[in-house]
Amino acid sequence: MTEATRVGRPLGVVCAVLSAAYAMALLHGPDGLSLGPLTTLGVLLVTGCTVATLLTAAVEARQARADTTAALLRLGAPATMLRGAAALRAGALLALFGPLTLTVAELAALPLAR
């Protein structure tokens, strides 16, 4: 539960930023307006900062689980199982929030595209 609050907020911000970037890409398609260098720099800066914040939260969550991980290793749990559990968590987040982000972006761009 603690990990959910620690990682959830930055994940929500990353999803919102990616949704806005995708909606902007839909609206500024090949036949639309072109983006200038400052807009591109701003998009890269905002996206980079939000991803860095998410990665920092993930590292903090990993450090918070360090004692539990060490205890599981002392009890004989294979390291591959721990890596598999982490991959399962990451895959579940991507499977849930990937389509949700794209759906929100499509819905956000829909009224503006008319």
| pLDDT per position as a tens digit, 44-73 | 899 899 989 988 988 888 898 889 889 988
For 28, phi then psi, to 5°, come to: -105, 60
Residues in the chain: 114
pLDDT range class, residue 29, cuts 50, 70, 90: low
The domain of 98 spans 2-113
The number of folded domains in the chain is: 1
pLDDT range class, residue 113, cuts 50, 70, 90: low
Average pLDDT over residues 63-89: 89
Mean pLDDT over each residue of the chain, to the nearest integer:
85
105 burial via Cβ count (<10 Å: 0-12, 13-18, 19+): buried
3-state secondary structure of 50: helix
Lowest-pLDDT choice from 20-24, 72-76, 85-89, 92-96: 20-24
